[in-house]
Amino acid sequence: MIVIGFESSCDETGVALVSTEHGLLAHALHSQIAMHEAYGGVVPELASRDHIRRVLPLTREVLATAGIGMDQIDAVAYTAGPGLAGALLVGASVAQSFAWARGLPAIPIHHLEGHLLSPLLATPQPAFPFVALLVSGGHTQLMRVDGVGSYELLGETLDDAAGEAFDKTAKLMGLGYPGGPALSRLAEQGDAAAFELPRPMLHSRDLDFSFSGLKTAVLTRLRSLEKASGGLSEQQRADLAAATEAAIVDVLGAKALKAMRQTGLKRLVVAGGVGANRHLRAQLLGAMKSMGGQVFFAPLELCTDNGAMIAYAGAMRIKAGLADLHDSSHAFTVRP
């Protein structure tokens, strides 16, 4: 079966085609980063309007790339939530219209399930069961995954998500949006040991996270340096970025390891935008090597939001018998 997938939960419009037999056939993406940059973050109204502009040209593009006609598509998958309500409605409406016009099933996909399964788009593919570290702009979760649709939440953030911690500290330091990649680039020139920052809940017994204190600690550092010397030197900025990144990565790494020990599982899967972070990747590779485990990442370009992960989740649900192919009335549920 061939599934077309639509993603429009935030600031990326993504459309993709996935075959249940042959995997990813084509995907096309438009990022709104340049449009929102001037505002220092995503403007929901602008996001919705841009999704409308982009979604049909991207659909044409994936069909042309894969050499597939509309009549060859068997099912439609779309992001039902969570996300920005207006943005989600664009993808949901297009997907529903497409499905209705062609008499196809429409499969609503939870955005996080899309992220969670995206490492299966890489080779080698992780086998079930595994522990998943889901680190996006809106969520930070550890999950035990026994199969498609079989997810047990082991722990999650009590306040800010890891991506949010990157974004908010980057904003405090006057770096661009999205902050994660910008802060990470600056951190490459810095020395993480130059500043001591807290590692919230590093030693707590549970698998939960808390990142909001880190943001406050960075702000306090910035203020005291400004008071003492009227501002930060370039090197101090890089050092502070490196220290912030190290604090976030240390906590993520330690909790992921704790989850592996608690579940006894040997496979770790990392998904979501922060999964693109080089420092996090290196730290987890090292940690897994030393404990005799394996770590799997989503392909770099599929860490942040995209249509491929949504089409793929739809295809996986069909394969697992978890998609209702006859009644898509439930598909009207949009979960912001």
- Contact residues for Zn ion, defined by CB under 5 A: 136, 305
Cβ at position 232, least distance to ligand KG4 in Å: 21
Closest to Zn ion by CB, 13 vs 136, is 136
**Identity at 158, one-letter amino acid code:** L
Rg (the chain; Cα; Å): 20
State the DSSP string of 168-230: HHHHHTT--SSHHHHHHHHHTTS-GGGS----TTTT-SSS-B--HHHHHHHHHHHHHHHHHHS
Q: Tell whether residue 137 is a contact of ligand KG4 (CB under 6 A).
A: yes
CB of 282 to ligand KG4, least distance (A): 12
**Binding segment (CB under 6 A) for ligand KG4, from list 100-108, 216-224, 272-280, 309-317:** 272-280
Work out how close the CB of 273 gets to Zn ion at its nearest, in angstroms, rounded to a whole number.
6
# chain residues binding ligand KG4, by CB under 6 A:
20
Q: If DSSP codes are grouped into helix, strand and coil, which group holds residue 308?
A: helix
Contact 207, 140 (CB under 8 A): no
Q: Does 273 bind ligand KG4 (CB under 6 A)?
A: yes
- Residue span 4-43 as binding mask against ligand KG4, x where in contact by CB under 6 A, dash where not: ------x---------------------------------
How far is 12 from 279, CA to CA, in rounded Å?
24
Query: Hey, what are 295's tokens?
Result: 């770590």
Please state the closest distance from residue 273 (CB atom) to ligand KG4, in A: 2
Decide: 101 and 130 in contact? Cβ < 8 Å.
Answer: no
Asked if residue 249 lies in contact with residue 215, where contact means CB atoms within 8 angstroms, the answer is no
Is 167 flagged in the annotation as binding? yes
180 binds, among Zn ion, ligand KG4, none (CB under 5 to 8 A by kind): ligand KG4
111 is in an annotated binding site: yes
Q: Is there a binding annotation on residue 137?
A: yes
| Alpha-helix residue ranges (DSSP H) falling in the chain | 33-37, 44-66, 85-102, 111-117, 162-172, 179-187, 212-229, 234-263, 278-291, 307-319
Question: By the 8 A CB rule, do 104 and 73 touch?
Answer: yes
51 is in an annotated binding site: no
Residue 200 interacting entry, from ligand KG4, Zn ion, none, C-beta within 5 to 8 Å by type: none
Known binding residues = 111, 115, 134-138, 167, 180, 277, 305
- Can you give the binding site for ligand KG4, defined by CB under 6 A? 10, 115, 136-138, 163, 166-167, 178-181, 184, 272-274, 276-277, 304-305
Known binding residues for Fe cation = 111, 115, 305
